[in-house]
Amino acid sequence: MKLIVGLGNPGQKYANNRHNLGYMCLNEFAKAHKIKLDKKQGMARTGTGEIGGETVILARSQTYMNESGQAVRWLVDRYSLKPDELIIIHDDMDLPLGKIRIRQGGSAAGHNGIKSIISDLGSPDFIRVRVGTGRPDLTKSGVPTSEDEIIGFVLSDFTRDEQKVVDQVIPKAAEAVESLITEGLTAAMNKYNKNGNS
């Protein structure tokens, strides 16, 4: 069994934000496999299906991003899952727009959703599918990114040009998740972690 969680903020006002890229990728994966996220379990909307002989539970957390761990912990406990049976899809500013990286474990790297999950699970050893948003353009100011700038950036929508890239990467992220389920972690990393470090 695998639990696949897309991170984001609930509500229409956040729907197209950069920070909701995890939701977008999960929705694409659900659509591709005809899985409806029509059940409420704990603090998430969930749907269940089978892929490559493996039972999968898809979940879209209904907490705000910095409390994602509460929703994930409830589901992990409910299904008695180990960390390596959990796949989290999330946005990542440390990756260029449109890049995908798969990894298991590691730090939160400043991502509040991942930080919350590590804290609530007491383990960083789950699998992450990181989807790049890039960072705010600081070429004009030349100063380090402040906390306010970061928040403003992740809670803003993609520009029209960025959206074209996002529209291409979302199906690829869904394919990466399928690869994790059907081919395993090593094979998926070898396939999707090209052109740079994970």
Active-site residues, by number, are 19
What distance, in Å, lies between the first and last C-alpha atoms of the chain?
A: 25
- Taking the C-alpha atoms of residue 57 and residue 173, their distance in angstroms, rounded to an integer, is 17
- Residue 92 is inside which H or E element, if any? strand 86-92
Burial environment of residue 29 by CB neighbours within 10 A (0 to 12, 13 to 18, 19 or more): buried
User: Residue 25 in contact with residue 18, Cβ under 8 Å?
Assistant: no
Dihedral sign, Cα of residue 165, residue 17, residue 170, residue 126: positive
Q: Please calculate the CA angle 35-88-63 and round it to the nearest 5 degrees.
A: 85
